[in-house]
Amino acid sequence: MPVITEIEDLRRIYKRRVPKMFFDYTESGSWTEQTFRENSSDFDKIYLRQRVAIDMEGRKTASKMIGQDVAMPVALAPVGLTGMQHFDGEIKAAKAAEKFGVPYSLSTMSICSIEDVAENTSKPFWMQVYTLKDDDFMQRLFDRAKAAKCSAAIITVDLQLLGQRHKDLKNGLSAPPKLTPASVANMMTKVQWGLGMLQTKRRFFGNIVGHAKGVKDPSSLTSWTAQAFDQSLNWDRIREFRKMWDGPLIIKGIMDPRDALEALNVGADAIVVSNHGGRQLDGALSSIRALEPILDAVGDKIEVHLDSGIRSGQDVLKALAMGAKGTYIGRAYVYGLGAKGQQGVTDALNVIHKELEMSMGLCGRTDVKTLDRDILMVPKGFSGDWDA
pLDDT digits (tens, 9 = 90+) for 81-125: 999 999 999 999 999 999 999 999 999 999 999 999 999 999 999
- What's the pLDDT at 240? 96
Residue burial 338-350, b: 16+ Cβ < 10 Å; e: rest: bbbbbebbbbbbe
Tell me which residue of 175, 22, 178 sits closest to 112, measured CA to CA.
175
214 pLDDT tier (thresholds 50, 70, 90) = confident
- What's the pLDDT at 96? 98
- What's the pLDDT at 209? 87
Compute the distance between CA of residue 207 and CA of residue 315 in angstroms, rounded to an integer. Answer: 32
Answer yes or no: are the C-beta atoms of 84 and 177 closer than 8 Å.
Answer: yes
Residue 237 has pLDDT above 80, yes or no: yes
- What's the pLDDT at 384? 81
The percent of residues above 90 in pLDDT, for the chain, comes to 86
- Residues with active-site annotation: 276
> What CA–CA distances, in Å, run from 213 to 134, 223, 261?
9, 12, 34
pTM confidence score: 0.96
Residue 179 has pLDDT above 80, yes or no: no
Residue 342 has pLDDT above 90, yes or no: yes
Residue 226 has pLDDT above 70, yes or no: no
Compute the distance between CA of residue 25 and CA of residue 236 in angstroms, rounded to an integer. Answer: 32
Q: How far apart are the first and last CA of the chain?
A: 53
| Mean per-residue pLDDT, 47-59 | 96
